Amino acid sequence: MRDFSDDLSRLRTSLAEARQYLRIDDLRDQRPELETEATRPDLWDDPDRARAVTGELAALVDDVDAYEGLEADVEDAETLAEMAREEGDESLEPEIEAAIAELRERFSRLELRSLFTGEHDEADAIIEVQSGEGGADAQDWANMLLRMYLRWAERGGFATEIEEVSEGSEAGISSATVMIKGRHAYGLLRSEHGVHRLVRMSPFNAQGKRQTAFAALKVTPFLEDVPDVVIDDKELRIDVYRSSGAGGQHVNVTDSAVRITHLPTGIVVSCQNERSQHQNKDRAMQILKAKLAEVARLEREAELDEIRGEQHSVGFGSQIRSYVLQPYQMVKDLRTDHETGVVDAVLDGDVDPFMEAYLRWRRAEDLATT
């Protein structure tokens, strides 16, 4: 009969670590107060406060339930192993091994939560895809990136709202803005901020030559309420235009799209997804405030790479990740050195291993500088 005591002991250690990094004792202390506040009859008289309370409670319950589920399953595995040992029943070994393997995987996924240390890691995210150098291939590549992150969001259970899409002059898209909603959306997507490079045999080249194309992804935490940001209407240029998605593929076409330019900073935001000009303007202003809040935060902290990463031109020498389709197949992150040869899976939204590698790399970098 195999001895599982070392495996089970390591699971117990992982459970104790999870109790610490999830702050389970603190969460249990906070829960009654939050539950009481969440059931107040007048809670929704202040919608912003109501969303904050219910969001905090949902996150708390999620963490506590995840921990308690693991705690119960570790105990079940220990009980099963003890029963098999006492009875000398070797037929239970495969079941015990499977239970231990599954628990290891669950602890590995849960450990990611300990890597979310940024101020806004739990927030929703605004992502902006922008084509760069490479002509038609770059516009096609921007469209491929947009699809990749939409598929990633779908696989991860995140809600998406496409705010604006500008068609490319030759193919694909020139730019797109998408809201991705869900817990840790920004914490995960901040790893993707930067320039992405594609190498392939160009479908737009009659000679079928290999082509390099670039597109950039900008990621901003979306904050529902930004009280410190005050915008003077005189600093804004507001343009109204007819929206145009890629053949209706990405956006509900309206006649009331809104583009707002913040003149002092040059920041431009657009929204064309809502049904009225008023709604589009309100959403565009929300996005603008979030972006201005980020600028202010970066100026205060003087650490540009803390939230947005270094800013580069969208071209050669500036990429964070390369996607090579020919002459071989590989996706490689140039910061973490994480790579895979399964390019199709990545382009279909399997980006989580790159995000996890970045979070671990970022933590190691932070520890090395402290």
- Could you tell me the domains of the chain? 5-115 (1.20.58.410), 124-368 (3.30.70.1660)
Helix (H, G, I), strand (E, B) or coil at 50: helix
pTM: 0.75
Per residue of the chain (370 residues), what is the pLDDT tens digit?
789 999 999 999 999 999 998 999 999 999 999 999 999 999 999 887 898 899 889 989 999 999 999 999 999 999 999 999 988 889 999 999 999 999 999 998 898 888 888 888 999 999 999 999 999 999 999 999 999 999 999 999 999 999 989 999 889 999 999 999 999 999 999 999 999 999 999 998 877 788 999 999 999 998 776 656 778 889 999 998 876 654 444 444 546 789 999 999 999 998 987 778 888 998 898 899 888 888 877 776 554 445 445 444 555 557 999 999 988 999 999 999 999 999 999 999 999 999 999 999 988 888 787 6
8 A C-beta contact, residue 318 and residue 311? no
Structure tokens at 62: 């999620």
Q: DSSP string covering 220-261, please?
A: EEE-S--TT----GGGEEEEEE----STTSSS---S-EEEEE
Query: Which residue's entry shows tokens 């079940």?
Result: 76
The vertex-217 CA angle with 212 and 221, nearest 5°, equals 170
Which helix (H) or strand (E) segment holds residue 217: the answer is strand 210-222
Identify whether the C-beta of residue 349 lies closer than 8 Å to the C-beta of residue 154: yes
- Spacing of C-alpha 260 from chain mean position: 25
Phi-psi category of residue 128: left, alpha or beta, with phi > 0 → left and psi -120 to 50 → alpha: beta
